[in-house]
A and B are shown apart, each in its own frame.
Chain A
């Protein structure tokens, strides 16, 4: 019986893409969240100072 085709490179490429994109999106969510929290805290303290 013939051996299966050697497609290791494509397998690695495929999973690299999957984890890379998932990771980037997750990172973007985290970064955006942190930035907004900082902004929220800053704005809140400004509001406090106004009073």
Chain B
């Protein structure tokens, strides 16, 4: 039976559903944001930074913050589907499974980028460092894509386990390391104005990761939700 709803319409429908829900309740974003700010705060005390040391460490702090806030967002995003039975409802609809996945992934990406968009100015102010560099913003985009593509996939599994809250970070972090390494090095590169030649391998790695895992997710997601 052909899916009655074309792929992109289904995907957008899910994307808008998530965005609209979040617009009303704002619990996901507020959770991620408060958590990010707390992490930034803790780092301030954990790493006694003079101005010079700070430049080296900013990229790392940024990505640690995003990584941890990201798991909170992913967990909430998928848990909502499961707990309210939305996922079952979605699956009954004549919709290509993968459209559901891409819809969720895009929504998660939007949330992550919103959080990044808020903590960057805050970080800039708190640490007196300009983070509004176009290259840096590109890295955040590419890194977030990689994170969210794999994260949504794994979260849709983790949420069905008994140990759901602790399981997602455990599944995700080992597999996301290329993203974190490349993103931190590329971010640091842009912050320290290193020549583009030295940054480009990292950007390439991010791009390759994003493409490879989007393809993997495309092929594999239907096996996660078939019941």
Contact present between A and B (CB < 8 A): no
On B, residues with C-beta under 8 Å from A are none
